[in-house]
Structure 1
Amino acid sequence: MNEEFIGALREIVKEKGISEDLIFTTIEDAMVAAYKKNYANPNTSAQNVRVSINRESGEINVYSQKVVCDEVYDDVTEISIEDAKEISPKYEVDDIVELEVTPRNFGRVAAQLAKQVVTQRMKEAERNIVYNEYKEMEYDIITGTILRKDKGNVFVNLGKLEGVIGPNEQMPNEEYNFNEKLKLYIVEVKNGSKGALIHVSRTHPGLVKRLFELEVPEIYNGVVEVKSISREAGSRSKLAVHSNDESVDPMGACVGPKGIRVQKIVSELKNEKIDIIKWSKSPEEFIANSLSPAKVLSVEVNEEDKTAKVVVDDNQLSLAIGKEGQNVRLAAKLTNWKIDIKSKSQIEALEESKESEEDNTLDSAE
């Protein structure tokens, strides 16, 4: 190894953003293994060896390390205090003495080994750089290009890496066509043996939140806050928002002038319906708002078991419940309350029935 090689190595280190100390230390460790394999006595595998590379000239030295002892039992790993004092009077018992044992042709072996180690380290470093880059984007949004489908998975080009949309992360009835660009939510980034593994989603509620952050400046800068999201991907989402500035209408900010902001998101989600709800500290008010577009007459809550009894006009009952119970289901997820909805006439009928039972009880008593 020479100065030219060291210079080239430094250029690679600089270009790839790899730690110079890490590269040299790794090469030195690999050379220790190479020395023990090719030059050391097979019966002296316990020998302690250190390899040193001069960072300027590239000169390589191999040192055998021995412990200074009063009495030597293993002359491979130990040296007597008398012999150590002959090398330097400063040595004491338990000190480490280094004796140079560099083989004549070790430089050629070392250079070949260094090349292999550097190549391997470069690949590892590049993989780690890419992994760290995408790891920082975990739980964020990214644009991907559809590459192919295989065994229910959809593979997408995310720039430097491929991502995978698993079957559970794909929107129902959404087609994934080659070269189509999609906004995706990064659910997880793992560091595998072959590099970063990125799982992305089209169904995650986080995708809706990130899309609103992109389209609504008030959310991005923190004036409007997204308190909660419930979603049935491809069909409908509910978004509870709150303004930290009384002069800003959170729902109006999300909808945008003439509905342009929310419409962009609806379009990106292939016409998924989005209900924007005003969040409230009051559970009664929040639950009433969550059942939008239905209008609620009253809400009675039980704080202990987080249940709510909701009353609506007869003509609002089907709207409050929604098709196949979707509206009330999403409202329950949004608020984290169990919601029981009854129409006004159902409540009146229950009350009449109750009064009738009470009257019958009184008659029997008489």
Structure 2
Amino acid sequence: MNTQLLDALAALVKEKGISQEVLVEAIEAAIISAYKRNFGQAQNVRVDFNMETGLIRVFARKEVVEEVYDSRLEISLDEARLLNPNYQVGDVVELEVTPKDFGRIAAQTAKQVVTQRVREAERGVIYAEFIDREEDIMTGIVQRVDSRFAYVSLGKVEALLPVSEQMPNETYKPHDRLKVYITKVEKTTKGPQIFVSRTHPGLLKRLFELEVPEIYDGTVEIKSIAREAGDRSKISVHSDNSEVDPVGACVGPKGQRVQAVVDELKGEKIDIVRWSDDPVEFVANALSPAKVLHVIVNEEERATTVIVPDYQLSLAIGKRGQNARLAAKLTNWKIDIKSESEAKELGIVYVPSASLDSFDTPINNEDESNQTFDLTEEEIE
């Protein structure tokens, strides 16, 4: 039996990743509980568990006193000195009280306590593992779906994907494999509770880190992200290395890298633009794919007025103001878009920015509304 106990202990250490010391402590506590329940509830006992032989011994701890009031907790000085003449009043004597049939009783009674302690230790291991994975990406498998959550298995634990964090263009079914972004890890009485997201901008960032080696090693940096999950996103990228094209690195050969991200996000459109510390250039880039003629900057209000050709106004604003709204979030600048003719009517005098001469993107507004309208400040914010 002792050999079996040691083998079981070694298997638990390997399988659950729990330290041997924690398991031994759980077993000793379980044996003490079993002994007190079966052989004297008031006994003050200590368990000695020999890790080399698997031998378990129980010792009753009794205080040396002049006059004994409770023989289960106390021993007289005369009796103690029969064991060792050096004992004094106040010392503690340990007497082995291991019952002959204690192995069977201990195994039956202590099983529940050991299981509970092992479960608690396992939860602690899982929490320690996942608390370091906050703001990271993991691949999970959908287990089931209800009206509030999709339950995603991350191996040792089941994560919660709330409806508010689910992409509107996705339907989740059991056994679906998908990448999720860990937003929060909480410690609860029932173990660690992990919340994940498919809509968080951090998911987009981590996906590009997986697909673009230059981002992972720091050669290319993602400066900002604006995302409307399931529909369209914009990211701005920058590299301190003049020999590296940050946009090209993210797009990849024949668009393979960005396409891999788009496929994972079920067709979400992604605009990759070059970041700049010059607001004129950055705002113009952010409004891609529209062509920008001029950007007027108001530093105090952190606002810009953007002039675009008349035929580009609808493209610059986008469906329901989406392109302008995402550009404003990406740059953190307010953006007021004016057509060239409207600017003339308002008396806005400008000279087309030389720095924007090379900013020329393909004109394609097949997916854009032909309706033209002014974007209100509320829509931008």
Aligned to 2:353: none
Alignment of 1:113-152 (within 5 A): 113-121=109-117, 123-124=119-120, 132-152=128-148
SS at the partner of 1:260? helix
Aligned to 2:216: 220
CA drift at 1:277 = 1.8
> Is 1:21 the counterpart of 2:17 in the alignment?
no
SS at the partner of 1:277? strand
The answer to whether the 8 A contact 1:189-1:198 is kept is yes
Aligned to 1:281: 277
Aligned to 2:299: 302
Match of 1:290 among 286, 291, 315: 286
Higher helix share: 1
Q: Which amino acid aligns with 2:147?
A: K
Aligned to 2:35: 35
SS at the partner of 1:55? coil
Aligned to 1:9: 8
Q: Which amino acid aligns with 1:302?
A: E
The 1:337–1:78 alpha-carbon spacing in structure 2 relative to 1, beyond 3 Å, is farther
SS at the partner of 1:51? strand
Match of 1:248 among 244, 251, 255: 244
Identity rate, percent: 55
Deviations along 1:65-123, whole A, 9 cap, x unmatched? 34456887766545566765554455556543323333443333123334444544555
CA drift at 1:317 = 3.9
Aligned to 2:364: none
Aligned to 2:378: none
The answer to whether the 8 A contact 1:212-1:219 is kept is yes
The 1:91–1:281 alpha-carbon spacing in structure 2 relative to 1, beyond 3 Å, is farther
Aligned to 2:307: 312
Alignment of 1:178-197 (within 5 A): 178-190=174-186, 196-197=192-193
SS at the partner of 1:312? strand
Alignment of 1:51-90 (within 5 A): 51-67=47-63, 77=73, 87-88=83-84, 90=86
Q: Separation in 2 of the partners of 1:287 and 1:89?
A: 91
CA drift at 1:254 = 0.7
Segments of 5+ residues of structure 1 without an aligned counterpart are: 353-366
Q: Separation in 2 of the partners of 1:63 and 1:216?
A: 63
- Number of corresponding residues: 345
The answer to whether the 8 A contact 1:296-1:310 is kept is no
Deviations along 1:171-229, whole A, 9 cap, x unmatched? 11323345443333233344555555443322111221122112211112211111121
Q: Separation in 2 of the partners of 1:183 and 1:292?
A: 28
CA RMSD of aligned residues (A): 3.4
SS at the partner of 2:170? coil
Alignment of 1:160-239 (within 5 A): 160-190=156-186, 196-239=192-235
The 1:286–1:82 alpha-carbon spacing in structure 2 relative to 1, beyond 3 Å, is farther
TM-score (norm 1): 0.78
TM-score (norm 2): 0.76
